[in-house]
Amino acid sequence: MLAPLVAAAALLSACGGGTSQVEAFKPARLLVLGDEASMLVDDGNADGFKYGINDRRGTAAGKCLLVPTVAQFVAIQYNMVFAACNPTPTSGPNAGIKPDPKAFIHARLNAQVDDATTGLKAQIDGIANVGSSDMVLVMIGANDMIDLYAQKKAGTLTAAQAEAEATRRGSVAAAQINRILRTGARALVITIPDMGTSPYALTADKTDAGAAKLMSTLSTEYNAALRLGIDSTDFDGRNYGLVLADDVVAAMARFPGSFLSSPSNVADAACNSATPDTCVLTDSKDTTTLVDGAKNATAPTNAYLWATDRHLGPVALTQIANQAISRAINNPF
């Protein structure tokens, strides 16, 4: 009597039943939505800059591939390149031949979720033919938390109103993600870190007591609305992977010695540059765009949780990217 059951189980497994993938999802395109944390700015030679720490040491092309963003890590997983980071190979069988870009950045500078020009709806509207062969990476909301705090400080919103607006914006982001998923595309959805732990919030708190606590609350409300707003009736792990950047950054802030090189710093930004995309590591000890503590460290970029007052540093990005890639590989898309 066991033989038919064994045969049935084998057939079910072969047809995609059970808990493992029969064939991994291989997207034709990677579409990146969000804010400047996912952007690459072309330097004119397809060796672009990112908003955070840029390692421009050496003379070889391809420095844009160093200290990658989360989007870059995911693109590498799928053997894809972005137009703004596509140096010509100088060796190997494809020497002198650039691959065609299959990864595309639609993220916008200073983007906020519901902004008519830079928001998620505007970004999605600008993409042609989103469908079942696409992987969409979504990482947005950090700028919204800073905006809501600024409005509360200016007196145009109360704390309660700011919290309600954070919830609304999380719901707006979820609605746009539902819109993406209805096309058949798969998605990697990344929560925002607790912006109350950012150097921006900690600096604000020195002159405006309660600023950091409020921004932590706003971040929590936003993430909760984002997660709850994705339609659980129609979509689950077969459609999208949830990447918990908030949990990653919280763990790093609480146990920095487990993640960051010594002496670790979770409160300050590594960059002192006014413009995030000009924070450039030019050698291991000294550069005009890093703070003194980062200049003196053996591995300066690995000691800091935050690159700028609002953008995460390389170690945090790597940790988040590891979780994103795990979702991409293991979710039964």
First to last CA, the chain: 34
Looking at 155-291, list the stretches that DSSP marks H as alpha helix, in order from N- to C-terminal side.
159-181, 199-207, 211-229, 245-254
Per-residue pLDDT for 206 more than 90? yes
Which residue in 113, 117, 164, 172 sits closest to 142, CA to CA? Answer: 113
Per-residue pLDDT for 209 more than 60? yes
E strand or H helix at 320, and its extent?
Answer: helix 314-330
pLDDT cut 70: percent of the chain above it = 87
The chain-wide mean pLDDT, for the chain, equals 89
Q: Which fold has domain 25-330?
A: Rossmann fold (3.40.50)
pLDDT the model gives residue 276? 67
**How many CB atoms within 10 Å of residue 90?**
11
The pLDDT confidence band at residue 24, using thresholds 50, 70 and 90, is confident
Do the Cβ atoms of 284 and 297 come closer than 8 Å?
A: no
- pLDDT tens digits for range 160-173: 999 999 999 999 99
Q: Pseudo-torsion of CA 233, 234, 239, 242, nearest 10°?
A: -30
Answering whether pTM is above 0.75, one says: yes
pLDDT the model gives residue 281? 74
- Taking the C-alpha atoms of residue 267 and residue 70, their distance in angstroms, rounded to an integer, is 22
Do the Cβ atoms of 135 and 29 come closer than 8 Å?
A: yes
The pLDDT confidence band at residue 295, using thresholds 50, 70 and 90, is low
pLDDT the model gives residue 180? 98
pLDDT the model gives residue 61? 83
Q: Where are the domains of the chain?
A: 25-330
The pLDDT confidence band at residue 23, using thresholds 50, 70 and 90, is confident
- Lowest model confidence (mean pLDDT) among 61-70, 170-179, 197-206: 61-70
pLDDT the model gives residue 22? 59
3-state secondary structure of 111: coil
pLDDT the model gives residue 280? 79
- pLDDT tens digits for range 127-153: 999 999 999 999 999 999 999 999 999
Per-residue pLDDT for 13 more than 70? no
- pLDDT tens digits for range 212-252: 999 999 999 999 999 999 999 999 999 999 999 999 999 99
Phi, psi of 232 (to 5 degrees): -75, -15
Q: Ramachandran region of residue 264, left (φ > 0), alpha (ψ -120 to 50) or beta?
A: beta
Which residue in 171, 222, 172 sits closest to 193, CA to CA? Answer: 222
CA 139 to chain CA mean position, Å: 5
The pLDDT confidence band at residue 118, using thresholds 50, 70 and 90, is very high
pLDDT the model gives residue 98? 87
State mean pLDDT over 301-315.
92
CA 62 to chain CA mean position, Å: 21
- Could you check whether the bond before residue 263 is cis, i.e. omega within 30 degrees of 0? yes
Per-residue pLDDT for 263 more than 70? yes
Residues 81, 82, 86: CA angle, nearest 5 degrees: 70
- pLDDT tens digits for range 52-91: 888 888 888 889 999 999 999 999 999 999 999 998 877 7
